[in-house]
């Protein structure tokens, strides 16, 4: 067969993405190799998805073992991997009940529908307002992209659903101004991802919990990006000590296999009665088998306790690069979700560094035009961290040199 190239993407696929020219074909741990055999250190983690790196032995074994048993049944039946993963999630979190799906967007769609349905059944049809936050991101379905606080993602798709308002993240007064007895839910990322890697402030998140309790509203934590061990706790709500009513998880919980879930309590779950919602691949045996292996590997002292150490290595490296080259004005984040804010002289040019890093053999991310984002594996080695930082340092040096000569 003729080798496929980046040009085949332009020929055969819808142009909603703009992928790099290199096409990775093999991965192991925090390293990838492209079609030409070139090696890359992975600081991107598939956008916080490959929580245990590429082809982790425990996940590979779980997938292969389940592949010889059953792949798909539909929701007319249940299956053992789904039941085992649901039990494991409820045993490790505040939740009593779990709903499975295939992505973070689906999980948030389910959470928002559940919140409105619960309010409708409990308080009446007029309690339907959802409060979200500017610069937030909750998915690409029509409902979730409307709830998200970045209008660029919903422009051009016609009228958005009503009953949605946006407050300012980390500004509790802006929430109080919108909050009322018609509010059914607040949805928040405890650590904003796409909005620029901005941690929620302790008092802010505690205040949201209090406001929801005062107004009989539900608090939804979108932990699609911050969950599955990324903060050094299994979920970020445990880091802050603020317990939501509904939590969504995806990305890292599948370790690279499509899997999402919505977690909630016995009080709220009955609102999602038979026939009210569903997902064709929700609870898929292959996905849940991999998810259980990922959860059991992540939720260990060995993995979670190592996150803080890796965070500090990366933070120190980024701050050193900032000091040498003057490109970053701030390094922020929690655990292994880290952002480096571009300095004013280089505002809007984070993607330039992403592209130059690829040339050096390093994969990184951006969170908007002004933030370089890192979301590596939770078990990335110290040697891989240092190698990646060295590559990033060279990329930044090239960036500064090119900027000076422009």
How buried is residue 111: exposed, middle or buried, by Cβ count under 10 Å (0-12/13-18/19+)? buried
- Rg of the chain, C-alpha, whole Å: 21
Buried b (16+ CB within 10 A) or exposed e, 237-246: bbbbebebbb
Q: Is 222 designated active site? A: yes
Cα–Cα distance, 65 to 160 (Å, whole number): 44
Residue of 43, 137, 204, 257 marked catalytic: 137
The H-or-E segment that residue 80 falls in is helix 80-92
Tell me how far CA of residue 152 lies from CA of 53, 135, 156, 173, 315, in angstroms. Answer: 32, 10, 9, 26, 31
Tell me how far CA of residue 86 lies from CA of 50, 70, 264, 345, 348, in angstroms. Answer: 21, 18, 11, 49, 42
Cα–Cα distance, 256 to 263 (Å, whole number): 20
Nearest to 325 by CA among 314, 337, 317, 334: 317
Residue of 222, 245, 352, 370 marked catalytic: 222
Residue of 42, 251, 299, 328 marked catalytic: 251
Cα–Cα distance, 309 to 328 (Å, whole number): 22
Q: Is 10 designated active site? A: no
Cα–Cα distance, 114 to 276 (Å, whole number): 9
> Do 297 and 58 meet the contact criterion of CB atoms below 8 Å apart?
yes
Other beta carbons within 10 Å of 9: 16
Q: Is 152 designated active site? A: no
Active-site residue list: 137, 222, 251
């Amino acid at each position: 067969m003729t080798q496929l190239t980046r040009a085949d993407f332009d020929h055969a696929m819808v142009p909603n993405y703009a992928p790099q020219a290199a096409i990775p074909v093999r991965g192991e741990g925090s390293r990838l190799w492209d079609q030409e055999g070139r090696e890359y250190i992975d600081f991107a983690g598939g956008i916080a998805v490959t929580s245990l790196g590429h082809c982790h032995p425990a996940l590979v074994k779980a997938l292969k073992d389940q592949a010889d048993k059953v792949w798909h049944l539909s929701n007319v039946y249940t299956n053992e991997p789904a039941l085992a993963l649901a039990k494991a999630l409820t045993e490790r979190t505040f939740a009593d009940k779990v709903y499975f799906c295939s992505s973070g967007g689906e999980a948030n769609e389910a959470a928002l529908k559940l919140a409105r349905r619960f309010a409708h059944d409990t308080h009446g049809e007029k309690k339907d307002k959802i409060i979200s936050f500017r610069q937030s991101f909750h998915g690409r379905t029509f409902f979730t992209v409307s709830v998200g606080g970045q209008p660029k993602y919903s422009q051009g798709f016609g009228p958005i659903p009503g009953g949605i308002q946006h407050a300012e993240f980390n500004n509790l007064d802006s929430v109080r101004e919108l909050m009322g007895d018609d509010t059914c839910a607040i949805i928040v990322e405890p650590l904003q991802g796409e909005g620029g890697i901005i941690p929620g402030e302790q008092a802010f998140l505690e205040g949201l919990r209090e406001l929801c309790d005062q107004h009989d509203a539900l608090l939804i934590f979108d932990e699609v990006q911050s969950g599955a061990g990324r903060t050094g706790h299994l979920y970020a709500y445990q880091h802050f000590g603020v317990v939501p009513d509904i939590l969504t998880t995806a990305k890292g919980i599948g370790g690279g296999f499509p899997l999402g879930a919505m977690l909630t309590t016995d009080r709220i779950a009955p609102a999602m009665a038979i026939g009210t919602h569903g997902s064709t691949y929700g609870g898929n045996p292959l996905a849940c088998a991999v998810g259980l292996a990922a959860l059991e590997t992540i939720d260990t002292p060995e993995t979670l306790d190592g996150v803080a150490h890796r965070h500090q290595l990366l933070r120190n490296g980024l701050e050193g690069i900032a000091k040498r080259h003057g490109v970053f004005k701030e390094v922020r984040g929690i655990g292994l979700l880290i952002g480096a804010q571009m300095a004013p002289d280089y505002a809007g040019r984070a993607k330039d560094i992403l592209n130059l890093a690829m040339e050096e053999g390093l994969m990184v991310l951006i969170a908007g035009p002004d933030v370089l984002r890192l979301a590596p594996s939770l078990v990335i080695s110290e040697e891989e961290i240092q190698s990646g930082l060295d590559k990033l340092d060279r990329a930044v040096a090239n960036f500064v040199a090119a900027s000076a000569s422009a």
